Amino acid sequence: QVQLVESGGGLVQAGGSLRLSCAASGRTFSNYDMGWFRQAPGKEREYVAAINKIGSNTYYSDSVKGRFTISRDNAKNTVYLQMNSLKCEDTAVYYCTARTPSILLRSTRWDYWGQGTQVTVSS
């Protein structure tokens, strides 16, 4: 089992920035791809970003490409999501995910999920 705990969410004005963190425990962190999803009220869950186990490859949805950056620190068992130029439509609960490595980083199969952290962007 992998346990995931997100932090860093909050309230920010449009155009601002936030950095989400996700601390992992339970298994060898560097053996897992890591990702972020989000879900806004009344909307389907959206796959936001992913990073492979060694941090050499990343995936972003079109809605966040160029504004969000996913990174990881395998020494700290932590994955980050730097969110810049935030928009009101980025408001959602953000979930950290982990999985055994997939050939296709854009694959939506994920094995482990955190509890989520709320991000609210005000106009």
pLDDT-based confidence at residue 27 (cuts at 50, 70, 90): confident
Average pLDDT over residues 19-31: 94
Asked if 24 contacts 117 with a C-beta cutoff of 8 angstroms, the reply is: no
Percent with pLDDT over 90 in the chain: 92
pLDDT at 11 over 90: yes
Asked if 86 contacts 18 with a C-beta cutoff of 8 angstroms, the reply is: yes
The pair of three-digit structure tokens given for residue 104, joined into one six-digit string: 């296709």
For residue 112, the model assigns a pLDDT of 96
